[in-house]
Amino acid sequence: MRDTSLLPRSERLPLLLERMSHGDRDAFGSFYDATARVVYGMALKVFIEPDRAHAVTRLVYVTAWTLAPTYSASRATPTDWLMSIVGEAFGASMKVGSCCSSRPSHACVTFQQL
């Protein structure tokens, strides 16, 4: 197994996703460590509330683990791919219920409804 820790991020993340697609939990941990700050930051920006952002971040990584075999480096960078999952979570939250405030990110849903 190739050590990816010294590779530039642009090379390391696709390799970690490839390893994740084969069930490599260590690769998942490294992938999470390398990307979680960005994912949580975007989730917080989109969902506003820290509790929702944490819940969405967990959802994003469960989804990433599940969908790793479908990742294609020719279609998106790993970070862009993760951001698309955050966007899909937001879209799903908006479809579940009507908005209960003037801010769209405060849709009337809970994490369980995503």
> Which band of pLDDT confidence, cut at 50, 70 and 90, is reported for residue 91?
confident
Query: Which of 19-23, 33-37, 51-55, 104-108 has the lowest average pLDDT?
Result: 104-108
pLDDT for the residue 78 = 95
Q: How far apart are CA 69 and CA 75, in angstroms?
A: 14
Q: What percent of the chain has pLDDT over 70?
A: 73
Closest to 13 in 3D by CA, of 86, 77, 84: 77
Record the tokens describing residue 104, joined without a space: 């769209």
**What is the pLDDT of the chain when averaged over all its residues?**
80
Q: How far apart are CA 107 and CA 94, in angstroms?
A: 6
Q: How far apart are CA 46 and CA 88, in angstroms?
A: 11
Instruction: Classify residue 97 by its DSSP letter.
Output: S
> What tens digit of pLDDT does each residue of 99-114 get?
444 444 433 333 344 4
> What tens digit of pLDDT does each residue of 52-80 get?
899 999 999 999 999 999 999 899 999 99
Say which amino acid occupies 78: P
Q: What angle (nearest 5°) sits at the alpha carbon of residue 55, between those of residues 37 and 95?
A: 115
